[in-house]
Amino acid sequence: MGELLNCAECGTLFLSNGSTVCQACSIKIKGYIKKVDNFLRSNPGANISEISAGTDISEKTLRHFVNEGVLVMNNNAIKYSRCILCGAKILEGKICSACRKKMTK
């Protein structure tokens, strides 16, 4: 069973299944990432200012994603993070869900 944590984003108390954010914030973050993904498909190599202007996501939020490893800066451009074990494209953290499942077996 999970443990009770305060959400790292909004502070709400929630039952964690290994995540540091509640379900509502997770959905919001995934929506932001989808917007960034769509923008980067049309504007590869865009920097934080360009992404912020094109997606209406604040630069502060984008920098937070970079600091948390959700997005990676590469020559002032943003790209997705990759699983450190298999290299799969991931939206958050350092390890993809498939590798996480393999590790718990």
DSSP readout, 5-40? EE-TTT--EEEESS-SS-HHHHHHHHHHHHHHHHHH
Whole-number pLDDT of residue 90: 74
The three-state secondary structure class of 73 is: strand
Count of alpha carbons within 13 Å of 63, Cβ hemisphere only? 4
pLDDT for the residue 58: 92
Banded pLDDT at 80 (limits 50, 70, 90): low
- What is the reported pLDDT for 101? 80
Is the pLDDT at 20 greater than 90? The verdict is no
64: helix, strand or coil: helix
Statement: residue 53 has pLDDT above 90: yes
- Give this prediction's pTM: 0.63
Please give the domain boundaries of the chain with CATH numbers for all domains.
31-104 (1.10.10)
Distance CA(30)–CA(12), nearest Å, equals: 18
